[in-house]
Amino acid sequence: MKVTLIHNPDAGSTDESCTDEIAASIRAAGHSVICQSPGSADWEKALLEATDLVAVAGGDGTVGNVVQRMIGKSVPITILPMGTANNIASTLGLSGLSIDDLIGGWANGRRIGLDIGLARGPWGERYFIEGLGLGLFTDVMSKLKGRRNVDLAHLNAPKEKLDSMVKSCSIDSTATRLTG
């Protein structure tokens, strides 16, 4: 089987997710693999190449980014959970297994459909897979995305990440009066 591996080396809180090691495991299972990092300029082009399977090694953000680009394509996607929360992988029953066990199951894996949400607004349309946020959550996430989360990728504890986010995002505390 030809596998396209999209691997986010900054995902999660350990150094166990080395691209070379994951690729070696995929090859050891009898598959060929092409590796790409979502931080590289050509990663989206890799999803356009002929492949039998797209494997996403990363967290929920990386999974969501890949899934959005694969909508309408018939190529199956699988997840190698490497993030902090891995909500999507957990929902699909892929958490708690070793990378080798997950890869070993690809040949006989069952396919399931996945619902994708579509949000429409003044900005246009945007697909989402995991959730939709409004208010403060959306404001914080958009600011984090704008600064590319460079320092967050190197923090391990969730509290460290939260403290970093709070420091970097200024929240307008001006009271708003509602009239009516």
- Using one digit for the tens of pLDDT, what is the confidence trace for 115-170? 888 888 888 998 888 765 666 666 666 666 555 555 565 666 667 766 766 666 55
Percent of the chain clearing pLDDT 90 (strictly above): 37
Which fold, 2-108?
Rossmann fold (3.40.50)
> What pLDDT is recorded for position 22?
93
> What pLDDT is recorded for position 155?
64
> What pLDDT is recorded for position 167?
67
Please state, rounded to an integer, the average pLDDT across all residues of the chain: 80
Higher pLDDT, 177 or 19: 19
Looking only at the bridges linking them, the beta strands covering 77-81 and 2-7 are unpaired
Q: 30-57: per-residue pLDDT in tens?
A: 999 999 988 888 899 999 999 999 999 9
Domain boundaries, the chain: 2-108, 133-170
> What pLDDT is recorded for position 146?
54
> What pLDDT is recorded for position 173?
43
> What pLDDT is recorded for position 178?
42
**Alpha helices (H) in the chain, listed in sequence order:** 19-28, 43-46, 60-70, 87-91, 99-104, 136-146, 158-168
CB count in 10 Å sphere of residue 114? 13
Over residues 110-114, mean pLDDT: 85
